[in-house]
Amino acid sequence: IKQYQGLAGRSTNEVLQLYSARGHQQRSYVLTQLHGAIKKRLKQDLKSLHSFALELSKDFQRQSKTYLYQVLTAVQGIQMQNEAMQMFQIKAFDLEQTLQEVTERYEKEKQKRRALHNSLIELRGNIRVHCRIRPLLPFDAAGHSLSQDGQRNFSEKVTYAADDETVLVKCSRPGHASINKTFQFERVYNASESQDTVFADVAPLLTSLLDGYNVCIMAYGQTGSGKTYTMLGPQLEENTPYSTENESELGIIPRATQEVFRLISEKPPGSYWIEVSVVEVYNNEIFDLLAKDSCGKVFGVKRDVVTTKEGKRDVPLLMYETVENASEFLHLVKKGLQLRVRHPTLVHAHSSRSHLVVTLTITTVVSGDNLAGISWEDEQTSQRLKKEISWTFPQKMRENTSTSSSRASSPAHLEATEKIKQVKTRLQLVDLAGSECVGMSGVTGAALRETSFINRSLSALADVLGAIAEQRPHVPYRNSKLTHLLQDSIGGDAKLLVMLCISPGQKYLTESMQSLGFGTRARQVQRGQVKKRNCPLPSKAK
Ligand code: ADP
Ligand code: MG
């Protein structure tokens, strides 16, 4: 507008100048010219204003359309989310129901699993024998010159794993009858089979342990045949310091403990706890390797095994230490083992002169009146527990009644007390003394004494297994401290695994044959033992 005013102003001056300067005709010509120019300019401006207004309105329409579209999309999104939410709610409800069903089914399956697992273990025999043949080692050849005739084959291999159930002993020596004999066991490990493989066959027994059965795993064989290697592993041997570095070399004892803790971690927290005792049976005496004096210093103390009024084995005053995990356990065992070698009252220098018994006692808290509670859903187990309790207490009340047959129909050696309802199961892990002393002659003094004690305890063990095999009414558990101590995890429906350890060399032929004979005899237990469930055998306890 200002521009027009300016233009008009200048035009006016011009007009005035022209008006006053020229004649009438020229003046009107200039006015017409100006008028035309202004009109043209106004027309142009109006036109562009118009198109600008049009453009603006179009733009506005376009933008509002976009926003409207966005709002619509957002509303749709919210609607969809709402629907999805509802779907999720329905799904969550369905899942909850399914979970409940699955949980119920799982509980049932768990009971079935437990029963089946036990049948399987029973079918394999409550006493089973595995045999491990160690590799030939450099020390097998030591002390024998290879050039000496007749001695040449001394370190030659004569004992083989023919397959994973058969041991073959094959040997022909000049001047001797040749031997070609096979022995059958539940499992035979050849020299190349690892600690891992051996443990894989042991692990199912630990499931039985948590199902309420006592378990014993023992290594039998002559000195140097690999008992300690199999049970503990090379790290825990003698006084070499234990290290967790080489886990693949760990033996049955540390692995079993790890497995027990693993199995317990799957149960409700606080319902289980584990105590450990470590004892040595030397010259038919029990030495507590975890005992402490008033200063808290550990030293080997003699203890004795007794049979309680409830018919269980007990070692009064024996040190039990509670452990929370496998490494605490290993620490304890290592402490015990160091004492085994060092203490002056334990006169033997070599661990092979004594039996090492590591016991894990697992206590389960059973909730109040509901004995079928927590982990004892299994019909058979809970019945057994009920029986245990009803057997135990009336006997406690009538103190004068004979209790010698209290184990008659309570096959598992579970303990339950009225105040705190607890069930105890026991895992006993045994590294037996070297069996080479059986039949050894020509030794005197302390060595003779040791030898005869080892002789007696190992033959007492053979007698016990033999008596169970023949289902004799009397099993002579009390003939030695070793068998008395192990009674609860050998007899009844406890599960025993004997791991025969064999040196394959020719110079160990006699000892290997003796061990294989022991294993074969123990194995007959299984054949005689397979029995119908719910049909208790007559009392095996004295
Ligand atoms: P034992 O306890 O029966 O007297 P050891 O367990 O001490 O015998 O074994 C004797 C030696 O043989 C040890 O040096 C051990 O490491 C070794 N050994 C035993 N079994 C095996 C095996 N399966 N593989 C490798 N080495 C073994
Ligand atoms: Mg040993």
Average pLDDT over residues 135-158: 67
User: Of 11-15, 379-383, 443-447, 490-494, where does the model show the most confidence?
Assistant: 490-494
* 183 Cβ closer than 6 Å to some ligand 1 atom: no
Q: What is the DSSP string of 480-503?
A: SHHHHHHHHHHSTT-EEEEEEEE-
Q: Residue 395: pLDDT above 90?
A: no
User: Of 165-179, 278-292, 432-446, 495-509, where does the model show the most confidence?
Assistant: 495-509
Q: What is the pLDDT of residues 190-237, one digit of tens each?
A: 999 999 999 999 998 998 898 889 999 999 999 899 999 999 988 554
Ligand 1 test: best mutation among 132, 229, 429, most atoms within 8 Å of CB? 229
Q: What is the pLDDT of residue 12?
A: 65
- Provide CB contacts within 8 A for 101, sequence distance 6+: none
227 is in an annotated binding site: yes
* Other Cβ atoms within 10 Å of 404 Cβ, number: 13
This prediction's pTM:
0.69
* Other Cβ atoms within 10 Å of 471 Cβ, number: 14
228 is in an annotated binding site: yes
32 is in an annotated binding site: no
* 353 Cβ closer than 6 Å to some ligand 1 atom: no
- Provide CB contacts within 8 A for 462, sequence distance 6+: 518, 521, 522
- Nearest atom in ligand 1 to 132's CA: 23
Name the amino acid, one letter, at 203: A
**Ligand 1, atom 5, residue with closest C-alpha:** 226
Strands of 256-314, DSSP E: 272-282, 285-288, 301-303, 306-307, 313-314
Give the distance from CA 460 to its chain's centroid: 33
